Amino acid sequence: MSQVAIKDALSGRIEAGTTVTIKGWVRTRRDSKAGLSFVNVSDGSCFDPIQVVAPAELANYDSEVRHLTSGCSVSATGTLVPSQGKGQAFELQAAAIEVLGWVDDPETYPIQPKPHSMEFLREVAHLRVRTNTFGAVTRIRHCIAQAIHRFFSERGFYWVNTPIITTSDAEGAGQMFRVSTLDLANLPRDEKGRIDFREDFFGREAFLTVSGQLNVEAYCLAMSKVYTFGPTFRAENSNTTRHLAEFWMVEPEIAFADLDDDANLAEAFLKYIFKAVLDERGDDMAFFADKIEKTAIRRLESFIASPFERIDYTDAVDILAKAPRKFDFPVAWGADLQTEHERYLTEEHVGRPVVVTNYPEHIKSFYMRLNEDGRTVAAMDVLAPGIGEIIGGSQREERLDVLDARMKQFGLDASHYEWYRDLRRYGTVPHAGFGLGFERLVVYICGLGNIRDAIPYPRAPGSAEF
């Protein structure tokens, strides 16, 4: 047999005694007094490295094998044998080890075989994936992304690629990064300080998208069930452990559907993803439960087993007002719920995931459907124990006159949303959708303390290296 992934070499599916080649990067090397060395090699295919046993008889044993350090790349060929050590079924008895790449200065190689702080690892984002933690995060991210596509595809949703560059502010919150080829500093401005963007690349002011929702709504109103899943950008100056300037978002949109259908979809979706992670990435989840967040596995299992509770925003405010404890932020009808309120509701009040519905209209986005009471919109936030809000969604305003009034109320220029208004003019139907921040989900699943560790190359205020 020729080259195999380390996950296959360790799986027990290859018969003991088979000759294989593995290729990867050295994690550790230990020399025994008996005149042989144990070299742990990882190739990223699974959590565990493989132990390569290198006997002194190897032609390059003294000249090379005994000089291997963390980070060197090697190719090792030998026989798979049952391991004597505990915790691993197989090891490789090497007949040949070829060094593919040396580490030129082992003393200064940043990823030493010892614990490193997450802060330090953020400074070497291009190398941190060589650690246990970031290898595991990378595999879990992949697993979640695949499960997302599978979930929607199995239910008849089409994946729609919405644009990254856009001219409309999907959230109406003015947190967009401008895309321009003009030398903005030296351009003439009118008496109100405005620049004429007609000379710009797109013939008007353009930005990086904050959400694919408006575009995916258009596709929903022809394809019935769709979702967009891609990068989104927010220029909010939030230097927190929960905010990124560039993050991925999953946004499904369903036609002929109301807020109830939306909440049902969100519940089925989250449970499907969590189950996929537990089924497929037991090795990485066991590591997170051991080293990062001891409830990591238990809380996903209990999430899967719990029916979501639905609470109307107005009732939630009552519950919070009567709570037997003080909050840092006062609770009052009309104010948005803070993380401490959300966590109280989900962790202490009900003890399982909660969907809060029907928020005051003035604290939510212009596209959310105005309820009959005229004071609330058909919006929902899904709250999860241990984190608070994880999904935000709504039924969309499908009535053109109400949408126009809402855009006016929010100070939005209807001329920027003509195509979006068309959707209400040509065969409008009730429809609903939600958005899930992909990295917030990764943080929750892995039990990470900071969202900057949930994406390979985090972008945040003052931080765009690598």
Contact residues toward ligand 4AD (CB under 6 A) are 170-171, 211, 213, 234, 236, 243-244, 247, 249, 251, 389, 391-394, 433-437, 439-440, 451
Nearer to ligand 4AD, 10 or 391 (CB): 391
Considering Cα of 210, then 215, then 220, then 221, what sign does the dihedral take?
positive
Nearer to ligand 4AD, 206 or 377 (CB): 377
For the CB of residue 234, give the shortest distance to ligand 4AD in the complex, in Å: 4
Nearer to ligand 4AD, 76 or 265 (CB): 265
Nearer to ligand 4AD, 136 or 441 (CB): 441
Nearest to 354 by CA among 389, 380, 383, 391: 383
Nearer to ligand 4AD, 97 or 380 (CB): 380
For the CB of residue 286, give the shortest distance to ligand 4AD in the complex, in Å: 26
**Which amino acid, one-letter code, is at 68?**
L
**Cα atoms found within 13 Å of the Cα of residue 179, Cβ hemisphere only:** 16
Task: Judge contact between 29 and 37, C-beta under 8 A.
Answer: yes
Nearer to ligand 4AD, 70 or 168 (CB): 168
For the CB of residue 249, give the shortest distance to ligand 4AD in the complex, in Å: 5
For the CB of residue 396, give the shortest distance to ligand 4AD in the complex, in Å: 8
Nearer to ligand 4AD, 130 or 369 (CB): 369
User: What is the rounded CA–CA span in Å between residue 9 and residue 19?
Assistant: 10
For the CB of residue 453, give the shortest distance to ligand 4AD in the complex, in Å: 13
Nearer to ligand 4AD, 53 or 244 (CB): 244
**Would you give the end-to-end CA distance of the chain in angstroms?**
39
Nearer to ligand 4AD, 331 or 460 (CB): 460
Nearer to ligand 4AD, 17 or 461 (CB): 461
For the CB of residue 138, give the shortest distance to ligand 4AD in the complex, in Å: 18
Nearer to ligand 4AD, 22 or 383 (CB): 383
For the CB of residue 449, give the shortest distance to ligand 4AD in the complex, in Å: 15
Task: Kindly list the strands in the beta sheet with 206-208, ordered across the sheet, starting from the edge strand earlier in the chain.
Answer: 165-166, 206-208, 178-179
For the CB of residue 212, give the shortest distance to ligand 4AD in the complex, in Å: 8
For the CB of residue 42, give the shortest distance to ligand 4AD in the complex, in Å: 30
Three-class DSSP labels, the chain? CCECCHHHHHCCCCCCCCEEEEEEEEEEEEEECCCEEEEEEECCCCCCCEEEEEECCCCCCCCCHHHCCCCCEEEEEEEEEECCCCCCCEEEEEEEEEEEECCCCCCCCCCCCCCCCHHHHHCCCCCHHHCHHHHHHHHHHHHHHHHHHHHHHHCCCEECCCCCEECCCCCCCCCCCEECCCCHHHCCECCCCCECHHHCCCCCCEEECCCCHHHHHHHHHHHCEEEEEEEEECCCCCCCCCCCCEEEEEEEEEECCCHHHHHHHHHHHHHHHHHHHHHHCHHHHHHHHHHCCCCHHHHHHHHHHCCCEEEEHHHHHHHHHCCCCCCCCCCCCCCCCCHHHHHHHHHHHHCCCEEEEEEEHHHCCCCECECCCCCEEEEEEEEECCCEEEEEEEEECCCHHHHHHHHHHCCCCHHHHHHHHHHHHCCCCCEEEEEEEHHHHHHHHHCCCCHHHCCCCCCECCECCC
For the CB of residue 190, give the shortest distance to ligand 4AD in the complex, in Å: 32
Nearer to ligand 4AD, 244 or 355 (CB): 244
For the CB of residue 270, give the shortest distance to ligand 4AD in the complex, in Å: 12
For the CB of residue 439, give the shortest distance to ligand 4AD in the complex, in Å: 6
Tokens representing residue 233 in the block:
């950008």
